[in-house]
Amino acid sequence: MKIEASVIDIKWEKNMEKYISYRFGAGRYIQEPEVLENSGTEIARFGKRAYIIGGPNAMNAVWKRMEPSFDKAQIAYEKEIYAGFPSYKKIEILKKSITDKQCDVLVGIGGGRIMDLTKAAADQLSIPIVLIPTSAATCASFSPLSVIYTDEGKCVGYLHFDYEVNAVLVDEKVMSEQPPRLLAAGIMDAMAKYIEIANGKPKITLETDNISKYSAYRMAEDIYNILEKYGKQAYLDVCEKKNTETVHNVIFCNIALTGIVSALMRARRQTAIAHKLYESMRTYYFKESINYLHGEIVATGLIAQLRFNHNTEAIERLKQYMKEMEMPINLQDLGLQGTEDEVKVLFDVLKQTEFVEDTNEAREELAVALKEIY
């Protein structure tokens, strides 16, 4: 199998680093139990004719509570149900629909795929965007980038945007009723930043790294510690559909605080081997991995990432934490057989990324790290 890391790799130009701006998340962020009932008023800040797009489950979860607020705020709207992937083709189709309907604000409702699709379309049309996530599985609603897939669901790259999302509306009633599996995936995706920012070493210091990376690392460390302490209880609360203070705090960590960490890193290099494992699985083992969530694959990659960081004492504790939320912990749990041939494909991709130095020593460390998950 021919491996082309460039297909899924962000190209990092060192000489352009100083020109990349900091975009600190969302212009407005609201996280309350009755956000949906007031969503029309918030959307009216940005336009008078909304194009609303969401997944079928997401729209079923929110629309009855949202619809009266549009009449109250005197907003016209067009509505579309979409269950596919954020592909370049779909972005163009969505842009045409928005233009044809003469809408002046885009509203995305659902999970990470809808968030990524709507961010890309709004950016290219230069119109405001309001995002309403219905799960806390990722920080996609908060971050100024989109992951792009083929129509079939294979990861093909990223789009980075010049501006922040205009508003993120998080309804805590919806969040407390999300499948617990989604919350668990989001917890691990949020915890990943602390481990991945340190890529290749046990920790980040101000003496060896710049202030923005150091700040992101320290904030990510706080998020990691909070989620390690309270994440399981939030997971159990959501299992019972309880909207508790613990659920509130964990959702805030998953979406807002993790999004700010990404912003401090300018949406670059806040991820490393664990996220590259996700992209590789989606590209080279698509059929095997399609039923697993982004955060579940990333979480498995974190075990290898810890070994690559020489932070081996944390591995067993992380595995146990993941087991308590019924998460996969190795490649076999993600649908692979765990054979040497499968691991070699992943190794050949990962060794070409910017997260593994072009040395025999670094490649050997990567090989050892991958042994932790098969």
Residue where one domain finishes, among candidates 176, 202, 236: 176
Q: Report the pLDDT value the prediction gives residue 25, as an integer from 0 to 100.
A: 78
Total number of domains in the chain: 2
Q: What domain range includes position 241?
A: 180-371
pLDDT > 50? residue 9: no
Would you say 131 and 55 are in contact if contact means Cβ atoms under 8 Å apart?
no
pLDDT in tens, 346-371: 999 999 998 999 999 999 999 999 99
Beta-carbon contacts of 154 under 8 Å, excluding residues fewer than 6 positions away, are: 282, 283, 286
Tokens 């202030």, residue?
211
Q: What is the mean pLDDT of residues 37-56?
A: 98
Chain centre distance of CA 317: 23
Mapped onto helix, strand or coil, the DSSP state of residue 37 is: helix
Q: What is the mean pLDDT of residues 226-244?
A: 98
Tokens 């008023």, residue?
41
**153 and 206 part of one domain:** no
Confidence of residue 19 (pLDDT cuts 50, 70, 90): low
**308 and 240 part of one domain:** yes
CATH number, domain of 309, equals 1.20.1090.10
Q: Report the pLDDT value the prediction gives residue 238, as an integer from 0 to 100.
A: 98
**70 and 124 part of one domain:** yes
Query: d(Cα 358, Cα 361) in Å, to the nearest integer?
Result: 9
Confidence of residue 69 (pLDDT cuts 50, 70, 90): very high
Query: d(Cα 132, Cα 317) in Å, to the nearest integer?
Result: 34
**188 and 337 part of one domain:** yes
Token pair of 107 as six digits: 């509203």
**21 and 169 part of one domain:** yes
β-pair type (145-149, 155-160): antiparallel
Query: d(Cα 372, Cα 162) in Å, to the nearest integer?
Result: 38
**215 and 166 part of one domain:** no
Confidence of residue 267 (pLDDT cuts 50, 70, 90): low
Tokens 């070994």, residue?
307
pLDDT > 90? residue 230: yes
Q: Give the global pTM.
A: 0.90
CATH number, domain of 25, equals 3.40.50.1970
**307 and 324 part of one domain:** yes
**160 and 208 part of one domain:** no
Binding residues for glycerol: 189, 275, 294
β-pair type (49-54, 105-110): parallel
Query: d(Cα 17, Cα 310) in Å, to the nearest integer?
Result: 28
Say how many CA atoms lie within 13 Å of 283 toward its Cβ.
24
**271 and 316 part of one domain:** yes
Binding residues for NAD(+): 112-116, 143, 145, 149
**326 and 238 part of one domain:** yes
CA angle 184, 185, 191 (to 5 degrees): 90
**44 and 138 part of one domain:** yes
Buried b (16+ CB within 10 A) or exposed e, 335-346: bbeeeeebbebb
Binding residues: 112-116, 143, 145, 149, 189, 275, 294
Token pair of 2 as six digits: 């021919």
Residue where one domain finishes, among candidates 132, 151, 176: 176
**58 and 197 part of one domain:** no
